Structure 1
Amino acid sequence: MSHRELYCDVCEGVAPFEAPPCVDGHGIDCPELVCTDCGAAVMIATFIAPVPRLAEGRRHRPTRRAA
């Protein structure tokens, strides 16, 4: 089990959280965490967002606004 300290809304303070045994095969990277003080559960969601890239050799120029 992995241990982390996070803010717990139920305890209203920082508390140790741990990942319970994961049945989905995530291991220590399981997004489900449980507060070891009160038992509140949280889920950490991660996602990948595409970042647009400019073509090589082009520089981004900020748009000018007329005053």
Structure 2
Amino acid sequence: MSHRELYCDVCDGVALFEAPPCIDGHGTDCPELICTDCGAAVVITTFASPVTRLAARRRQPARRAA
């Protein structure tokens, strides 16, 4: 299991979080974490920046009307 120190809203402070056994196959990179003090669950996600998405769109060839 993966352990991380994060802020817990329920405990109102920094607490140790761990990833439970993941049935989705993420292993230690599972985005679901549980506070070891109170049991509150959080999901950690990352978002692509808008700049990255715009750059990817600009690389696509432009479609021309027939």
Structure 1 and Structure 2 fold alike (TM over 0.5): yes
Normalized per residue, the structure richer in helix is 2
Q: TM-score range by the shorter chain?
A: 0.7 to 0.9
Q: CA deviation at 1:18?
A: 0.1
Root mean square deviation of aligned Cα: 1.6
CA distance in 2, matches of 1:48, 1:12: 29
Q: CA deviation at 1:16?
A: 0.1
Number of matched residues? 53
- Does the residue aligned with 1:5 lie in a helix, a strand or coil? strand
CA distance in 1, matches of 2:12, 2:26: 28
CA distance in 2, matches of 1:12, 1:19: 20
Gaps of 5+ in 1: 54-67
Q: CA deviation at 1:46?
A: 1.4
Q: Percent identity?
A: 75
TM-score (norm 1): 0.72
Q: CA deviation at 1:20?
A: 0.2
TM-score (norm 2): 0.73
Q: Deviation above 4 Å: which 4+ runs of structure 1?
A: none
Q: CA deviation at 1:52?
A: 2.8
Gaps of 5+ in 2: 57-66
Residue in 1 that maps onto 2:5: 5
